[in-house]
Amino acid sequence: MPSPVRHFRLRNSQLFPPKLLCNTIGTAYTRLNMLSPNVTKPNSEQCETMLGEIFRDFFDDDSLVLRPDMTARDVDGWDSLAHVRLLLNIERKFQIKFSAPEVGGLQSVGELVSLIARKTNAG
C-alpha cells in the first residue's frame, strides 16, 4: 500500500500537496531572480566605488579612503572578526562567493579589488 501524501498547511490554513507547494515556491523564486538587480555587472571603477562605500559604512568612518596598499593594520577596528563580517557584506553586495584559499591569500585592499573584479567579470 503506498504511503499517504503529506499536505502542508500554510498560514491561511489551506492545505497544499508537496508537489504544488514546491512548484509555487519554485515559480516565486524564479520571478524574484528575474527581478534581481545584477542584470548588469559593475565595471572596475564601479567595483572600487561600491567597495569604498561598503568600507565606510562597515567601519562607520566617512573619511575612509581606500588605497591599493591598505591593509587591516591601517583601519581602526579591522580585526579578524570584522574581516569575516566585512567579507560577508562584500559577498552580499556584489552577489559573489569567496573561497577559503582566495580569502586566505589576500594581502591588501588592492588584491581584494582585483579579486572582486575577476569574480564580477569587471577586470
Structural domain total, the chain: 2
Q: Cα–Cα distance between 22 and 26 in angstroms, integer?
A: 6
Structural domain including 16 reads 1-36
How do residues 90-111 score in pLDDT, each as one tens digit?
A: 999 999 999 999 999 999 999 9
CATH number at residue 90: 1.10.1200.10
Q: Are residues 12 and 55 in the same domain?
A: no
Confidence of residue 3 (pLDDT cuts 50, 70, 90): low
Q: Are residues 50 and 87 in the same domain?
A: yes
What integer pLDDT is reported at residue 4 of this predicted model?
A: 56
How do residues 44-83 score in pLDDT, each as one tens digit?
A: 788 889 999 999 999 999 999 999 999 999 999 999 999 9
Of 30, 75, 29, nearest in space to 54 by CA: 75
Q: What is the pTM of this model?
A: 0.65
